[in-house]
Amino acid sequence: MKSAGGRLLAGLELHRDAAQPLHRQLYGQLRTQILTGSLPSGTRLPSTRTLVAELGVSRITVVSAFEQLTAEGFLRSRAGDGTYVDTLWSDNAPRQPLSRPPLSERGAATSSRGADLSGEAPQAWAPAESESFVASQVAASAFPAATWKRLLGRHAGSTEQFMNGYGDPHGHRPLREAIADYVNDVRGLGCTPDQVIVTSGAQQAFNVLAVLLLDAGDTVVVEDPGHISGRLAFQSQGCPVRGVPVDAEGAVLPDENDVESPARLACLTPARQHPLGIAMSPARRAEWIAWAERNGSWIVEDDCDSELRYRGKALPTLFGLDLSRHVITVGSFSKVLAPSIRLGYCVLPEDLVEPFASASSIIGRPPATVLQAALTDFLSEGHLHAHLRRTRRLYAARQDALLEAIDQRLSRRIQAEQVDAGLHVMGWLREPLDDIEVARGLAAGGVYTYPLGEYRVTRRLPPALLIGFAGTAEDHMPEAVGRMAAAWDRWEQLGARS
């Protein structure tokens, strides 16, 4: 076959100042040309001497690239006759535009792009150059960095077998003990360490529970509005969700006369309804437990938001009230410490512990043992209690600063009231706007909030924004809220003109 030297050379572009060495660049570009079919099989490549002269690189650069491509089956050299593109890869090169199936229905239900793979990448979680009032954000500056570093260092260099092998699928035993002490003390669960399984945050617990407890098609009751990623975990298993409204006593029970089959599972946030912030009344708690018993259904109690309390005492968990073992409690260190450490737990009825541990190790393996060991010490040496005391004071002050700034700069647009716990207030819009559009408009101006509309299942809700206060310093709050007001004005002006 005729040499492809001219065409090949025109397609090569090597950059001396790039981070990647020249031989890797040459290798990568030749490989792409072969894989995409632009260098068909049997093509004879220019000699190394020609490439050296034309590309202005050393012989070793060309030889290294050729050797690597030959080792991987892309090139073949014939003694005394030059180097050719091998048939192995190039005959399989796609000749037509790429056509691939869309995501599965379950995949599409959980993907921000729907079934389509070609859409834009989702927005960065915490973009730089922004004011973030994102509801789940904690104060990074308050993270107990020195203590955490010391505790990690204590375990990081360990040559112990348990620290260097696969971790126990139930979690590191000392951490299970420390978590049991903590939840019994702070949340009145009344569990043993054997009932605690360590997870990579609440999200992993929801995913495992969805696989373990539900078959595709089983109905799940969720709060409407309710926590988004918990709901998506159930939907991603092919389970339809049925939203129940939230009133002044918490989530309302589903109308049992209205539906053919009862839901197999209900996912609730009794301590502090997410996102509205309502504490479920004792009477409603009793009704939900009776509902689970009557229908043979599970209740997943999402208790991720209850320790950061500024006034009053949280009511104990449903788990602690449930004698019939229908309740599973999910907790997380994302808000009390930081979401980046990805540690949480699931507290289960005894007979669910082993099935959960097996499913959990298939779905995600336990979290890194070194992190679990550091968290064990963090809990058992009292650092978490100290950190909670500090952050409660800090967040209470940040909430006050936020409400004051809203009062001064945004009161004609939103109405917000003090909350007793959690990391966000509800900013109810005074005008009947689409809150998703408002949040997008603010984001375009570099100010990030979550719109209530994204938490809805089917109900129409009054428009509101969740406005997080934990991530913004008290003395910066007036400026940050000022930016929100300015972004809102700009968005409104743009809307008025279009």
Listing DSSP states for 92-147 in one string gives TS--S--------HHHHHH-TTTT-SSSPPPPPSS-SSSEE--TT---GGGS-HHH
Q: How far is the CB of 450 from ligand PLP (least distance, A)?
A: 10
Q: How far is the CB of 88 from ligand PLP (least distance, A)?
A: 44
- Separation CA 391–CA 388 (nearest Å): 5
Amino acid at 128: A
Task: For residue 32, give every residue at least 6 positions away whose Cβ sits within 8 Å of its Cβ, in sequence order, or none.
Answer: none
- Residue 9 has, within 13 A of its CA and on its CB side, a CA count of 16
Give the x-and-dash track for 333-372 against ligand PLP (CB under 6 A).
Answer: -x----x----x----------------------------
Q: How far is the CB of 343 from ligand PLP (least distance, A)?
A: 8
The residue written with tokens 């099989």 in the block is 41
Please choose, out of 66-74, 299-307, 369-377, 458-466, the segment that lies near ligand PLP by the rule CB under 6 A.
299-307
User: Considering only CA atoms, which of 329, 360, 358 is closest in space to residue 345?
Assistant: 329
Residue 334 or residue 399: which is nearer to ligand PLP going by CB?
334
Q: Is 277 in the site for ligand PLP (CB under 6 A)?
A: no
Give the x-and-dash track for 201-220 against ligand PLP (CB under 6 A).
Answer: xxx-----------------
Please choose, out of 34-42, 278-286, 302-310, 452-460, the segment that lies near ligand PLP by the rule CB under 6 A.
302-310
Q: Which of 51, 304, 357, 439 binds ligand PLP (CB under 6 A)?
A: 304
- Separation CA 237–CA 477 (nearest Å): 41
Please choose, out of 43-51, 200-208, 316-324, 405-413, the segment that lies near ligand PLP by the rule CB under 6 A.
200-208
Residue 175 or residue 202: which is nearer to ligand PLP going by CB?
202
Q: Which of 33, 137, 207, 269 binds ligand PLP (CB under 6 A)?
A: 269
Cβ contacts of 412-419, under 8 Å, gap ≥ 24? 413/485, 413/488, 414/464, 414/465, 416/467, 419/277, 419/310
- Separation CA 59–CA 55 (nearest Å): 10
Q: CB–CB of 273/230 below 8 Å?
A: no
Q: Is 270 in the site for ligand PLP (CB under 6 A)?
A: no
- Separation CA 340–CA 100 (nearest Å): 34
Amino acid at 376: T
Scanning residues 1 to 40, which ones bind ligand PLP (CB under 6 A)?
A: none
Q: Which of 111, 136, 137, 195 binds ligand PLP (CB under 6 A)?
A: 136
Q: Is 302 in the site for ligand PLP (CB under 6 A)?
A: yes
Burial 274-313 (b: 16+ CB within 10 A, else e): bbbbbbbeeebbebbbebbeebebbbbbbbbbbbbbbeee
Q: Could you tell me how many residues of this chain bind ligand PLP (CB under 6 A)?
A: 15
Residue 203 or residue 236: which is nearer to ligand PLP going by CB?
203
User: Considering only CA atoms, which of 363, 100, 102, 365 is closest in space to residue 237?
Assistant: 363
Q: Would the CA dihedral through 332, 334, 340, 341 be positive or negative?
A: negative
Q: Is 305 in the site for ligand PLP (CB under 6 A)?
A: yes
Q: H helices of 279-368, where?
A: 282-295, 318-321, 350-363
Q: How far is the CB of 384 from ligand PLP (least distance, A)?
A: 15
Beta partners for 309? Answer: 421
Residue 277 or residue 445: which is nearer to ligand PLP going by CB?
277
Q: Is 139 in the site for ligand PLP (CB under 6 A)?
A: no
Please choose, out of 177-185, 197-205, 451-459, 482-490, the segment that lies near ligand PLP by the rule CB under 6 A.
197-205
Residue 264 or residue 274: which is nearer to ligand PLP going by CB?
274
Q: Is 306 in the site for ligand PLP (CB under 6 A)?
A: no
Q: Which residues bind ligand PLP (CB under 6 A)?
A: 136, 201-203, 227, 230, 269, 274, 302, 304-305, 332, 334, 339, 344
